[in-house]
A = this chain, B = another copy of it.
């Protein structure tokens, strides 16, 4: 346990950079029993705790509130087992995601959970926040890749459900309660993750499209014809142009209304490249796409993705990045309306749209010189107000934490919020687990 000056600054908060307060202490358990001891003691003393993993979250879920004790999982790290027959990995919560990914690859498997922060985020945090990312279209979000879970409850009870089976219908699915609940119902200590076969290769194309309708049409074709479809990332004109200019690239004759990255994971058969080319050829003939570039080298793959990752946006002043989801068919109209509303209110702003359209996930980048906290509130009001109207979600993959707590009611009904509170009270009657996060104080 570290206290006072021995607590590193990074324990103030996550990558949302909204953390202000140093925790009272940082407890660093090295075993599940130590996590249980820490919670048992804190619960007996009504001491609030905030679980901390790799601190890469974007919603402030790991930020301490005043007087919180942080429980860092960083020492509870390691791969316990890879079961090749079951296709599972048993892993401790504090294991960095990339370490787990490499261990899976070394055993000939793919760990399908993947996101940009892979080097520093931890598996426990990925599960506590139900991480998404760019590979969801093939293998689902984090919760879809968990077969077994162990969590420590507020009173220190170790709840071990380390199931390895695909089918197991023995009572309530306790796993899913903890996954995505951002440390408010228990602290995840171990998990059995589902592994997939390692792809034999990957093909990448960048397509130019003239309408959102065609973005959906190409998605439907790709889902039907490409068995290994593993990414489908759309960039609106505003986003694509900004990033191409910033990177000094000119990939199409004219900037298209939409640019889409289509990737397929391969099984290693000979005809796969031809088949991928034929797929794009038919889409071109049928007018679904206007042009398509197939990456001929790893360098070209990286170029396509560099535009999509949009690092150039980071140079914009006070960049706000939104993470919302909407029914796939509505995303085009939502983006039009949202863009118009933001540009009407902030004529000098950068507003651009991109996202994992195949997962219903849209990101919005917003920047305006001289923005203040009030600007941010005004932009929030526009974006989340429209999300509510379109029956969308105010958080697709980043979670609620502190940052989106006040907007949760745009996506969840009073009955849902009441039931969440009832579950929170049943599992954590003293309210010591990450209080104030997700649901606010109860």
Which of A69-77, A111-119, A151-159 is found at the contact surface with chain B? A151-159
Which partner residue on chain B sits nearest A215 by CB separation? B85
Which of A218-226, A294-302, A338-346, A370-378 is found at the contact surface with chain B? A218-226
Which partner residue on chain B sits nearest A396 by CB separation? B167
Q: Which of B140, B157, B185, B267 contacts A225 (CB 8 A)?
A: B267
CB-CB contacts below 8 Å: A377-412 with B: 391-400, 404, 408, 411-412
Point out the residues of chain B lying under 8 angstroms from A224, CB to CB: 197-198, 200, 267
Copy total for this chain: 2
Q: How far is the CA of A422 from the CA of B428 in the complex (A)?
A: 11
Known: A220-B84, A223-B197, A420-B171. Contact between A166 and B141, CB under 8 A? yes
CB-CB contacts below 8 Å: A83-133 with B: 83-88, 129-130, 132
- Is the CB of A56 closer than 8 A to any CB of chain B? no
CB-CB contacts below 8 Å: A410-430 with B: 411-413, 415-420, 422-423, 425-427
Q: How far is the CA of A420 from the CA of B426 in the complex (A)?
A: 11
Pairwise interchain contact A223-B169, C-beta atoms closer than 8 A:
no
Which partner residue on chain B sits nearest A221 by CB separation? B197
Question: Size range of the interface on A?
Answer: 35 or more
CB-CB contacts below 8 Å: A186-203 with B: 196-198, 200
Pairwise interchain contact A328-B393, C-beta atoms closer than 8 A:
no
Q: Which of B395, B417, B422 contacts A169 (CB 8 A)?
A: B395
- Is the CB of A179 closer than 8 A to any CB of chain B? yes
Known: A163-B393, A425-B426. Contact between A267 and B227, CB under 8 A? yes
Q: How far is the CA of A335 from the CA of B179 in the complex (A)?
A: 34
**Residues of A bordering B, CB below 8 Å:** 83-88, 129-130, 132, 136-137, 140-141, 143-144, 153, 157-161, 163-177, 179-181, 185, 196-198, 200, 216, 220, 223-228, 267-269, 271, 275, 325-329, 356, 358-361, 391-400, 404, 408, 411-413, 415-420, 422-423, 425-427, 438-439
